[in-house]
Amino acid sequence: MTLPTPYGKAVFYPGCALDGLGKSYDVSLKLIAQDLGVPIERIEDYNCCGALEVKNVNTMAGILLPARNLALAREMNADAVVSACPGCHYSLSRTQYYLTKYPKLREKTNTYLEKMGTKGYDLKLMLVHAVEYVYNTVGIEGIKAKVKRPLTGLKVAPYYGCLYVRPKSYTLSGYMKLRDDPERPFFMDEILKAIGAEVVPFEAKTMCCGGPHVYSDNEVSIHLEARILKEAKRNGAEILVTDCPLGHVAIETNMNKITQKYGKDLEMPLAYFSQLLAFAFGHSPEETLLTANITNPMSVLRRYL
């Protein structure tokens, strides 16, 4: 059975990450969407959202790439676009903001879109992150009802990343009931509590991990990631829970360098929030791809099997 959503018809924008390094995020999201009965139809023929460097190199390309994805969603008669990557959510929301604010830019963008064979974008989409979508569509009680393997006592640090609610002029965080808090997001905290986990105090939950600088300035990334892990460790977390494929991959791949520089005590496994939900709903470590994570989250999850 498919649940009605407060967003109308929602389509899913996977972006480059979920079809690449964030495969375990994509697989586990599909599992929980099926379990929870929420629709997750993909945008057909989507393209890169142009996050990160593109907008710094070519301003128009930085608008046009996300705009094409939004226009394609409207061609599917969607009312909302769900994205799991905060970077994609930022990029799509940024474009929506600029096209709404500057009519001449919207006109120019739509001219390009029509030349590319796509209808112009009409600004009628709501842009939503997957955490917000799960929280508002299913609700906490709906999540609790699906739990077969409660993660009672598991101490978790929910890491939202720096773009999940920022900037709020783009993401509209805090402006309505369906949006998470722009200063102290809590939707993922409540989702994790619903599967039995214990959320530790975590002041670094929206701190930047330096993910975009993994290759250009690895030392900066390592330093920022070490601060996040140190805060999680200080508050007793056993696992860092993520909703951002860029941050997740950046921290996992740098873990050895972090522990070499800052000490073995900072070592900690990572898992996507969707992987923990799917695991709590009864799926195996192999089905959820928890066994594929670099940092081996099964080292702390094995006691729930």
48-72 pLDDT tens trace: 998 767 777 788 999 999 999 999 9
| Tokens of residue 57, six digits | 């190199």
The pairs formed by 174-179 with CB atoms below 8 angstroms and a separation of 24 or more are 178/6, 178/7, 178/128, 178/132, 178/136, 179/132
pLDDT of residue 184: 93
Read off the pLDDT band of 214 (50, 70, 90): low
Q: Are 279 and 305 in contact (CB under 8 A)?
A: no
- Sign for the pseudo-dihedral over CA of 251, 208, 156, 219: positive
Tell me the β-bridge partners of 11. Answer: 41, 81
| Tokens of residue 153, six digits | 């006592």
Query: In sequence order, which residues have a C-beta less than 8 Å from that of residue 281 and are 6 or more positions away?
Result: 31, 32, 35, 146, 147, 148, 149
pLDDT of residue 174: 84
pLDDT of residue 56: 74
What's 201's DSSP letter? Answer: P
pLDDT of residue 2: 62
Q: Which of 223, 274, 243, 266 is nearest to 162 (CA)?
A: 243
Read off the pLDDT band of 218 (50, 70, 90): confident
Read off the pLDDT band of 3 (50, 70, 90): low
What's 264's DSSP letter? Answer: G
Task: Compute CA 54 distance to the chain's CA centroid, rounded to the nearest angstrom.
Answer: 20
221-238 pLDDT tens trace: 899 999 999 999 999 999
Would you say residue 198 has pLDDT above 80? yes
Residue range 206-231: average pLDDT? 87
Least confident span in 2-16, 96-110, 114-128, 141-155: 2-16
Distances (CA, A) of 24 to 1, 109, 273: 25, 34, 11
CA distance 92 to 121: 12
pLDDT of residue 1: 58
Full strand arrangement of the beta sheet holding 10-13: 41-42, 10-13, 80-83, 126-129
Q: Is residue 265 within a helix (H) or strand (E), and if so which, with residue range?
A: none
Tell me the β-bridge partners of 239. Answer: 156
249-279 pLDDT tens trace: 999 999 999 999 999 999 999 999 999 999 9
